[in-house]
Homo-oligomer: A and B are copies of this chain.
Amino acid sequence: MSRSNPRVLATLERAGGFASAQEVYRLMQREGESIGLTTVYRSLQSLLNDKIVDVLRREDGEAIYRLCGGAHHHHLVCKGCGETVEIEGGAIEKWAKTMAQEFGFRDVGHTAEIFGLCPKC
């Protein structure tokens, strides 16, 4: 196990809290920070583990990391500009619980994302 390199988190913040591992790496290089790509990946993985960042997927499948609040929440993502709104999903929680019960599933989690075009796009 390894802990997150603080400069990675700092860079993610500076990037607007939304970037892929490769982007964080390139950003740090451009700013003269000496770091290896491996460490960037490891740090993001660790931040994800600690629920300090969230992971989403670009359309091409590349993982993008985002700072997020600790509480469980869902996202409304704009396909055009990438803007993301954190939304509450009480209905989903209930739905997931009901469905799991109906089929006898235990230890359940869920994912739910809504994507579309925001007012500006």
Contacts and interface: CB of A to CB of B under 8 A. Distances in A.
Copies in the complex: 2
A89 B102 CA distance: 13
Interface string A50-77: 0000000100011100000000000010
A114 interface: yes
A116 B112 contact: no
A103 B115 contact: no
B119 A99 contact: no
A111 interface: yes
Contacts of A76: 99-100, 103, 105
A1 interface: no
Contact of A99 (B62, B87, B94, B100): B87
A27 interface: no
Given A61-B62, A114-B109, A95 B99 contact: no
Given A61-B63, A100-B114, A105-B116, 19 more contacts: A57-B57, A61-B61, A76-B103, A78-B105, A91-B92, A91-B94, A92-B92, A99-B114, A103-B118, A104-B118, A105-B114, A105-B119, A108-B114, A108-B115, A108-B116, A109-B114, A109-B116, A110-B113, A112-B112
